[in-house]
Amino acid sequence: MGNGTTKGTFQMKSNDSVIIKDKFSWWWVLVLLACIASLVWLERCLDDGEDTLSSLRSYWPTEIRVDTDMDSFWLHDEERICQTYPNNKGRIAVVACSASKSHNEHNIPVTFWGDPNRNIVSDWKCRREGDAFVCRAID
């Protein structure tokens, strides 16, 4: 047929660009199954009455600069039960780990595992990990 060649049902001419169409890939099946599993999990969270965003926050850390009495005198991997106090927007602003110290001795970044937007006084288990402080929600 003219100046082109016939490949299957496509007519290709020598000056046309060739687009290679890949056959169906099993990789896409895995991606689709992962998406379905995520949607099912989110639906169950909503059906159970959980606050989905709060639930998801426990899977990813949030780093916030807070006023605190935590300091370098903590031993490595030392844990203490601390209380957090919210600011006027409901986000953690103060971490108090000692009843006898001032809560605003330092303003440092602290990593939180759990929802930092609680708008209530909350208990957290805080630990010194290397040179950083990490707090995990208790309640």
Confidence of residue 19 (pLDDT cuts 50, 70, 90): low
- What is the average per-residue pLDDT within 53-81? 83
What's the burial of 116, exposed, middle or buried (CB within 10 Å: 0-12/13-18/19+)? buried
Q: Which two tokens stand for residue 89?
A: 């927007």
In the Cβ-directed half-sphere of 79, how many Cα atoms lie within 13 Å?
8
Q: Where are the domains of the chain?
A: 4-53, 60-137
- What is the average per-residue pLDDT within 6-30? 56
pLDDT at 99: 75
Taking only the tens place, the pLDDT of each residue in 41-59 is 666 655 555 455 555 556 7
Among 88, 93, 91, 68, smallest CA distance to 80 is for 68
Taking only the tens place, the pLDDT of each residue in 82-108 is 999 999 999 999 999 987 766 567 899
First to last CA, the chain: 76
Dihedral class, residue 107 (left if φ above 0, else alpha if ψ from -120 to 50, else beta): beta
